[in-house]
Structure 1
Amino acid sequence: MSELNARFRARIGLPENEEISFDSLDRVLERTAFAIPFENLRIMERRTGEITMPNLMHQILDNGEGGVCYELNTILYGFLRDNGFDVALTRGVVYNYEAGAYSALGRTHVTILLNHGGQPYLVDTGFGGNLPLTPVPLTGEVATSRNGAFRIPSGDGEPGEHVLEVMLKHKHNEWKIGYAFDPGKLMTDLAECNDIQHTIAEHEQSAFNKNPLVTKLTPRGSITVTDSSLTRWVDGVMTKEPIDRDRFRLLLREEFGLGLQAPR
């Protein structure tokens, strides 16, 4: 067993002797989503470094941190690869509902394509609170998990040939566009993640370099904190309360297991 395989299993609480099959990927995706938060603290604290698999292992598996899409999906990609899955990384462009258009930042979302039985699927653990906790086929067929329904109807080729659509349980009553991606344009080098990271960390229109954000799914909903608010979803009921920076630091430790300092 590779070092990445063993340490990733330890992080998400998966026994070393448990064989992972396609049918058990739902369990892997749930455990990953519950254990590893989506967070931008490295960006906010200007602690970003080169995106390599050893660096991601140190960050996520040694330090117990989370990350954003190019960190979370890249390490999950490595774990799935080491467990014998046919996987590749590809880039997507997120839909911006405030602007009513796809993000001006371009293809800055990193996601995973997995081939099984001659059928391609999308796997994603780096899309914040919109995670499909199951592989989603690229056929338009609806895939469901405990947090909602997901589908990928074919697009029109612009800006990607396929579009992930999301209908979250308790939150949506219609399909919402997540992001577009082109399954024919695979990433061939992790170095692409460094270009993406630079854009996310430095671009004036980036949503992730303005305020700290930490979120993860839970068995009954989700929890999200910023440096000014705490939001919980529990069994479809949302509560939100204001917090100060001291409470923010406390929540990072107590709710997410993060020992990082809040941005100053």
Structure 2
Amino acid sequence: MKNLNTLFRQRIGMLSHETIQFDNLDVFLERFAREIPFENLCVIDNSARNITKENLINKIITRNEGGLCYELNTILHLFLIENGFTSTLVRGRTYDHNEKQWSAAGKTHILNLITHEDQQYVVDTGFGANLPLRPIPLSGSVVESHNGEFRVEKNRSKDGEYFLYIRLKHRQEDWKLGYIFDSTEEVKDFSVLNEVQKLIIEHPESRFNKKPLVTKVNERGIIILTNTSFIELNNGKETKKAIDDTIFKKMLINEFNIRTFGNFSSKLEFN
């Protein structure tokens, strides 16, 4: 079987001999975001499997699916390690702006920290429509991409020592909290990732066990799909269309190239 490095490059359309370095990591993150969607379909479909390297390769690469933060950032982590980066996975807690509090589901966000020239950076490809698309230094410096502006500030609390702030282009005028994390809370084995997945699946306050959500960066901007709506965000213009389950299934194929997941090939029903 081909190794993860080769398979992942094929998945995102990257040449086998193309070198990934810190200076061109933003190009790689853009490709990742355009090819691999953020989605919770297996959670909704009750077909999620244990998080292992083999299962992630099967789901994201072989089956051409996407995943949530603990899947996307983990396979990214494994790929970065194979390409010579110093990378660790850490656990964070997102901010719920509707409830104006940290997520009641707990520390369910998984992100990457990489070290380059003695400086640590957040590298996160599992934050839905809020993707930085660039490494963000822990120094507080602002990083800008076509998706917005991002910064990390040190300000210790009981939930962590660093806060991610975001200001999405055309969508936010003010800086908003994204999540909090502790750079020393390293995820050292898959058991922690399976604990996070269990919280996502079972916790009553989980944002991702209520209805399907699929989002991805494309050449026009950001697209967001649920079983009742399809939203396109393009240079400040938002277009929203009401859809039904039949259109939802067609859009999974046409917009996200997802043709199968879990029990989808035989049945797909959402309440």
TM-score by length of 1: 0.98
Which residue is 1:150 aligned to? 150
Map 1:213-232; keep pairs closer than 5 Å.
Answer: 213-232=213-232
CA RMSD of aligned residues (A): 1.0
In structure 2, how many angstroms separate the alpha carbons of the residues matched to 1:252 and 1:220? 17
Shift of 1:104: 1.2
**1:21 maps to 2:21:** yes
In structure 1, how many angstroms separate the alpha carbons of the residues matched to 2:115 and 2:30? 20
Which residue is 1:263 aligned to? 269
Q: Secondary structure at the match of 1:155?
A: strand
Which residue is 1:180 aligned to? 180
- Cα-to-partner distance string for 1:104-136 (whole Å, 9 max, x where unaligned): 111110000000000000000000000111000
Q: Secondary structure at the match of 1:55?
A: helix
In structure 2, how many angstroms separate the alpha carbons of the residues matched to 1:176 and 1:219? 25
In structure 2, how many angstroms separate the alpha carbons of the residues matched to 1:157 and 1:220? 38
Which residue is 1:204 aligned to? 204
In structure 1, how many angstroms separate the alpha carbons of the residues matched to 2:6 and 2:191? 25
In structure 2, how many angstroms separate the alpha carbons of the residues matched to 1:263 and 1:238? 28
In structure 1, how many angstroms separate the alpha carbons of the residues matched to 2:269 and 2:158? 38
In structure 1, how many angstroms separate the alpha carbons of the residues matched to 2:158 and 2:175? 19
Contact 1:37 1:256 (C-alpha < 8 Å) held by counterparts: yes
Shift of 1:44: 0.4
In structure 2, how many angstroms separate the alpha carbons of the residues matched to 1:210 and 1:124? 24
In structure 1, how many angstroms separate the alpha carbons of the residues matched to 2:208 and 2:269? 13
In structure 2, how many angstroms separate the alpha carbons of the residues matched to 1:13 and 1:155? 39
Shift of 1:162: 0.2
Shift of 1:184: 1.3
Structure 1: which 5+ residue stretches go unaligned? Answer: none
Shift of 1:145: 1.1
Map 1:52-91; keep pairs closer than 5 Å.
Answer: 52-91=52-91
Structure 2: which 5+ residue stretches go unaligned? Answer: none
Contact 1:112 1:122 (C-alpha < 8 Å) held by counterparts: yes
Shift of 1:63: 0.2
In structure 1, how many angstroms separate the alpha carbons of the residues matched to 2:7 and 2:168? 31
Q: Secondary structure at the match of 1:28?
A: helix
Q: Secondary structure at the match of 1:240?
A: strand
AA partner of residue 189 (structure 1): D
Shift of 1:43: 0.3
Q: Secondary structure at the match of 2:43?
A: helix
Q: Secondary structure at the match of 1:152?
A: strand
Contact 1:73 1:112 (C-alpha < 8 Å) held by counterparts: yes
Q: Secondary structure at the match of 1:26?
A: helix
In structure 2, how many angstroms separate the alpha carbons of the residues matched to 1:146 and 1:81? 27
How many correspondences in the alignment? 263
Shift of 1:243: 0.2
Contact 1:221 1:236 (C-alpha < 8 Å) held by counterparts: no
Q: Percent identity?
A: 45
In structure 1, how many angstroms separate the alpha carbons of the residues matched to 2:269 and 2:180? 32
Which residue is 1:253 aligned to? 253
Shift of 1:205: 1.0
Which residue is 2:38 aligned to? 38
Which residue is 1:162 aligned to? 162
TM-score by length of 2: 0.95
